[in-house]
Amino acid sequence: MLSALAVDPEQGLDGEEAARRRASVGPNALKAAGGVDPAAIFLGQFRDFMVLVLLAATFISGLLGEFVDAVAILTILLLNAFLGFVQEYRAERALEALGKMAAPKAEVVRDGRRALVPAEDVVPGDVVVLKAGDRVPADVRLLWTEGLLVDEAPLTGESVPVEKRAPAVLPAPRPLGDRTNMAFMGTLILKGRATGVAVATGMATEMGKIADLIALTEETDTPLKRRIRHLGRVLVWIAVALTAAVTGLGVLDGYPFEEMFLLGVTLAVAAIPEGLPTIVTVVLALGVSRMQKKKALVRRLPAVETLGSTTFIGTDKTGTLTLNRMTLVQGRTAGGAFFVSGSGYRPEGGFFLDPERTAPFDPEERPEVMALLTYGVLASEARLLPPETGDRTEGPKRPAGRFRWLGLRRKAREAAPSGWRIDGDPTEGAIVVAARKAGLDEEALRRRKRAKVLPFDSVRRRMSIVYEVGGGRGVLAAKGAFEAILDRSAAIFDGGAVRRLGDAERRRWAEEAEAMAAAGLRVLAVAYREGPLERLRGLEDEAELVFVGLVGLIDPPRPDVPAAIRTVQAAHIRVAMITGDHRETARAIAADLGILRPTGRVLTGEDLRRLDGKALSRLAVETDVFARVAPEDKLRIVQALRAAGHIVAMTGDGTNDAPALKAADIGIAMGQSGTEVAKEAADVVLLDDHFATIEAAVEEGRTIYENVRKFVRYLLASNVAEIMVMLVAFALKWPVPLTPLMILWINLVTDGLPALALGLDPMERDVMNRPPISPSESLFARGLGWKILSRGALITGVTLWAFSERLAAGAPLGEAQTVAFATLIVAQLVHVFDARNERSLFDRSPLDNVPLVLSVLVSFALVVLVIAWPPAARIFGAVPLSAEDWLRVIGYSAAPFVLLGLFGRLSSGRPARPEA
């Protein structure tokens, strides 16, 4: 490797060679693949089929002299394009956020001397020096390490830091989390020191590959967009059919072709509800506002509706299902097992004898428990830091039993606010937090002078620290892998005394450790040795240790996650865990959360890489846990699930999740623990990081989709009625029932406030008990198309009946037109309540949606104003109506829908059920 990169590890590169390489490979920076062209993004908003249809309608309206319609439609299209442009442009900032993770400075060896250079000047072949607190500037092959511990969670998703060692030669290919001889760009050095040679920089690094995945991953088409596009195609065919029908009928009756064609085009344009995109946008925007109150920030408007169609949630484990804070939850000593409550780094919790945590005990009454925690802290270097705000009030201190000679004191337990954090290894931090819960003061424990440190490495698999305790004596505290500690132990600490450790007891301890590991715990053993300080200081390898016991640590689930998962599953949505953790750890956590079904599969990244696309699509839908996965694996999982027909929601918080978040139908990032990269790539950001918020989002999404169907039903049925009134009257050679201005006013009154208020309909009680909306379902599914045609025909019938009845009674044409005008509008306003329900007008109380009631009253008042106010009546060609005429209008309009409602209620076999 060194020869291939032409570098001497002692001298490093010379300045001229580094400059040549930088000119050749470019700066060590992450950038987008290609550029972001704002003009192209804006123009791209006009590629949608429905938008193209409305552009055509604008053009035709202009040709026909309908400039008011043309300007209104064009304004709507520009508003929608602007909203889409803003959201898409913001999404492209994901790569910019990714670039911010690169280290600003790097220490390298140049010309035989160490130098601090900008991170973007690091080139392949540079010898890089790393120490605790550094962010790795490039992908580095390690040459020398000393106790190096690296936090790779942003890259791999694992909550446990990775110990790195230089000499290892590993077979390829290896998952990122198993490449222990490498340090990767953007990861953080928690502990130790190292030197290595940069083998990849910029976009060639593993972080750069993620950047490429984000840049090259196409945005998914949402179900709402697909359904609106389908609606647009249907409307185009209707428009073409209307134009042909009117033109053909007119020509057959002897009318000029040009006149009939223009009339047909006019009716065709009227068939397209130009207000539909605006209503959809407004309803989604209001849904976004409601979701933000529920702690979910929606970055793209269609995302709310897409959640309602979700059939599969692929959730990251670390930080999403769990707290991303290692916690000591269990311990075992010679006196038996004990369990610890509390989670995260807050030093609050109790000690219990049973896993159900119903039998508390005072740990100070159990010397072996105090010894386990004491020596665990002494063998650690992590520090528990208080919240940046809030006071820490300590109570009186008192001696603590047989450990008084260590300077150990009891510390008062405190009710601390949130925000506690760990400085150092999170695993060591978990031991320190547990010690605090027992009332121990780690600062006092470590006040003694250190005499020697034997650091942890992957060969020794343990760490020891020797302390001076006075009088020429010392104590060695050790912790590490169970086998590494037990093999070097000759005795065991039992109830305040030390006794010999026999072979049978060793086997029993091995079984205990395996049982804890199988439960998904990370198991560490703790031991100590007392003796002359010089002898302990001279030890190069631990021996003759006194075994104290085992501690079991876990990144605990968030408390509200199990209930949220059950609710989501009850809504017929599959949930799978996708994590970088090992198979057995992932299996245990998934089973504990209720994700892993008895028949569910567990697949690893290696399993995935052996499967082709078709096989993966087949197995992915049967899999509940994906373990030990790399970023490209997560992306393949999302793609496989989508290929199998699922609407996929992907949750995550790490940089490694960003490509999958972008590729999913709906990407959900964690707002508190998530990286900026994940947030920018996502459609929804959970402000409280609670998986339970997804439940509320799905609920909101399903409600919005049903409301979209309601106002599509209402708008199209109204438009069908307006067209059919004119078309039927023309075919029957009747006088024209409505003037052009009347038709314009009808569209204004009925397509505005009532349709918008219908989109605000509250959630129905059983919305989360229904199956997800099928991805292939059109807006006209479940009988919606029939309802549109039947209600449109019904409104047409009552309008023409009222018109013909007035003509037959000898009324003037103006009066008959006014009655038809009023009947058509009132029938549509009654229909808006019918459109709220699948079965019956009486299934829900009108007062469930007060804005809808108010909008109908306002619309009715506008109709009365146009007819009763003489100046307006002259403009619209209307005449005043008598009270008898108004009663006739209301009776004609309401009777059919009342009869339909009664029939629907009787046929459903259940009483009306007002919704909350």
Note the pLDDT tens digit of each residue in 54-64.
Answer: 677 667 667 66
Instruction: Provide the pLDDT confidence category of residue 632 given band limits of 50, 70 and 90.
Output: confident
Which pLDDT score is estimated for 914?
Answer: 35
User: How many angstroms separate the CA atoms of 132 and 423, rounded?
Assistant: 11
ω into residue 914 within 30 of 0, thus cis?
Answer: no
Average pLDDT over residues 202-212: 81
Interacting residues of 501 by C-beta distance below 8 A, sequence separation 6+ = 489, 490, 491, 492, 547
Whether the predicted pLDDT of 905 surpasses 80: no
- Note whether 169 and 124 are within 8 A (CB): no
Q: Which residues pair with 478 in a beta bridge?
A: 464, 527
Instruction: Provide the pLDDT confidence category of residue 888 given band limits of 50, 70 and 90.
Output: confident
Which pLDDT score is estimated for 127?
Answer: 93
Share of the chain above pLDDT 70, in %: 77
Average pLDDT over residues 183-188: 86
User: How many angstroms separate the CA atoms of 706 and 759, rounded?
Assistant: 9
Choose between 572 and 275: higher pLDDT. 572
Instruction: Supply the Cα-derived Rg of the chain in whole angstroms.
Output: 36
User: How many angstroms separate the CA atoms of 434 and 342, rounded?
Assistant: 9
Which pLDDT score is estimated for 47?
Answer: 65
Query: What are the backbone dihedrals phi and psi of residue 398, each rounded to the nearest 5 degrees, phi first?
Result: -145, 155
Q: In terms of Cα–Cα distance, which of 100, 128, 106 is closest to 29?
A: 100
**DSSP-assigned states of every residue in 163-224:** EE-SS----SS--GGG-TTEE-TT-EEEEEEEEEEEEE-GGGSHHHHHHHHHHHSPPPPPHH
Whether the predicted pLDDT of 30 surpasses 60: yes
Q: In terms of Cα–Cα distance, which of 177, 304, 182, 189 is closest to 694?
A: 304
Helix count and strand count (H, E) for the chain: 32, 28
Which pLDDT score is estimated for 466?
Answer: 94
Q: Which two tokens stand for residue 529?
A: 């040795």
Note the pLDDT tens digit of each residue in 758-782.
Answer: 877 887 777 777 788 776 777 777 7
Whether the predicted pLDDT of 130 surpasses 80: yes
Q: In terms of Cα–Cα distance, which of 876, 901, 756 is closest to 822?
A: 876
Q: Which of 45-59, 263-277, 464-478, 711-725 has the highest mean pLDDT?
A: 464-478
User: How many angstroms separate the CA atoms of 781 and 51, rounded?
Assistant: 22
The phi-psi region of residue 324 (left if phi > 0; otherwise alpha if psi is between -120 and 50; otherwise beta) is left
User: How many angstroms separate the CA atoms of 836 and 664, rounded?
Assistant: 32
User: How many angstroms separate the CA atoms of 244 and 257, rounded?
Assistant: 11
Average pLDDT over residues 826-837: 87
User: How many angstroms separate the CA atoms of 71 and 54, rounded?
Assistant: 12
Is residue 316 part of the annotated active site? The answer reads yes
**DSSP 8-state secondary structure symbol assigned to residue 46:** T
Whether the predicted pLDDT of 513 surpasses 70: yes
Q: At what angle do helices 257-271 and 692-731 cross, to 10 degrees?
A: 160
User: How many angstroms separate the CA atoms of 181 and 196, rounded?
Assistant: 9
Choose between 135 and 749: higher pLDDT. 135
Whether the predicted pLDDT of 629 surpasses 80: yes
Q: Which two tokens stand for residue 260?
A: 């009939």
Query: What are the backbone dihedrals phi and psi of residue 129, each rounded to the nearest 5 degrees, phi first?
Result: -105, 130
Which pLDDT score is estimated for 379?
Answer: 94
Q: Which of 27-31, 389-393, 425-429, 801-805 has the highest mean pLDDT?
A: 801-805
Burial of 551 (C-beta count, 10 Å sphere; 0-12/13-18/19+)? buried
Whether the predicted pLDDT of 592 surpasses 80: yes
User: How many angstroms separate the CA atoms of 662 and 835, rounded?
Assistant: 36
Which pLDDT score is estimated for 277?
Answer: 66
Average pLDDT over residues 627-640: 84
**DSSP-assigned states of every residue in 247-299:** HHHHHHTT--HHHHHHHHHHHHHHHS-TTHHHHHHHHHHHHHHHHHHTTEEES
Least confident of 81-90, 269-278, 790-799, 825-834: 81-90
pTM: 0.62
Letter string b/e over residues 251-266, b meaning 16 or more CB atoms within 10 A of that residue's CB: eeeeeeeeebbbbbbb
Q: Which of 232-246, 454-468, 516-530, 624-638 has the highest mean pLDDT?
A: 516-530
Domains contained in the chain, CATH given: 15-31+103-211 (2.70.150.10), 296-323+558-689 (3.40.50.1000), 334-549 (3.40.1110.10), 703-908 (1.20.1110.10)
User: How many angstroms separate the CA atoms of 655 and 113, rounded?
Assistant: 34
User: How many angstroms separate the CA atoms of 591 and 586, rounded?
Assistant: 8
**Neighbour count for residue 496 (Cβ, 10 Å):** 13
User: How many angstroms separate the CA atoms of 527 and 372, rounded?
Assistant: 8
Least confident of 77-86, 222-231, 863-872: 77-86
Choose between 238 and 542: higher pLDDT. 542
Least confident of 564-578, 816-830, 863-877: 863-877
Which pLDDT score is estimated for 41?
Answer: 63
- Between strands 684-686 and 105-110, the pairing is unpaired
User: How many angstroms separate the CA atoms of 495 and 517, rounded?
Assistant: 25
**DSSP 8-state secondary structure symbol assigned to residue 322:** B
Instruction: Provide the pLDDT confidence category of residue 99 given band limits of 50, 70 and 90.
Output: very low
Q: Which of 53-67, 154-168, 309-323 has the highest mean pLDDT?
A: 309-323
Whether the predicted pLDDT of 873 surpasses 80: yes
- Note whether 686 and 671 are within 8 A (CB): yes
Instruction: Provide the pLDDT confidence category of residue 380 given band limits of 50, 70 and 90.
Output: very high
Whether the predicted pLDDT of 479 surpasses 80: yes
Whether the predicted pLDDT of 381 surpasses 70: yes
Taking all residues of the chain, what is their mean pLDDT, rounded to a whole number? Answer: 80
Whether the predicted pLDDT of 402 surpasses 70: no
Average pLDDT over residues 888-901: 82
Share of the chain above pLDDT 90, in %: 23
Instruction: Provide the pLDDT confidence category of residue 70 given band limits of 50, 70 and 90.
Output: low
Which pLDDT score is estimated for 488?
Answer: 93
Q: Which of 316, 624, 751, 843 is catalytic?
A: 316
Choose between 470 and 752: higher pLDDT. 470
Whether the predicted pLDDT of 393 surpasses 50: no
Note the pLDDT tens digit of each residue in 208-234.
Answer: 887 776 665 555 556 666 677 677 677
User: How many angstroms separate the CA atoms of 769 and 893, rounded?
Assistant: 35
Instruction: Provide the pLDDT confidence category of residue 98 given band limits of 50, 70 and 90.
Output: very low
Which pLDDT score is estimated for 691?
Answer: 78
Least confident of 444-448, 526-530, 551-555: 444-448
Whether the predicted pLDDT of 668 surpasses 50: yes
